[in-house]
Amino acid sequence: MADRLAGARWRKSAYSGDNNGACVEVASNLPGLVAVRDSKDPAGPALTFSPTAWAAFTRATKTHP
């Protein structure tokens, strides 16, 4: 999996105001893959999703408080 994440450009949400590092980072620049990791553990594991699944998740979180 690490090979699939080579070249990932990780980013935090612009809405993240968390100063203690309790954030997630997302890399969406990978072909056919969206990766999510804990910002406190950048060398740790990452969850991966298809772009379709990630879009459905983010759409659902925007519509359900």
Supply the pLDDT for residue 34.
96
Supply the pLDDT for residue 21.
67
Q: How many domains would you assign to the chain?
A: 1
Q: Please say whether the beta carbons of 37 and 45 come within 8 A.
A: yes
Taking the mean position of all CA atoms in its chain, how far away is CA 10? 7
| Residue 59 lies in domain | 2-63
Torsions phi, psi of 32, nearest 5?
Answer: 70, 20
Task: Outline where the chain has alpha helix (H).
Answer: 2-5, 51-63
Average pLDDT, rounded, for the chain: 86
Decide if pLDDT at 1 tops 70: no
Per-residue pLDDT tens for 29-60? 999 999 999 988 989 999 999 999 999 998 98
* DSSP type of residue 57: H
- Give the pTM: 0.80
Coil, strand or helix at 61: helix
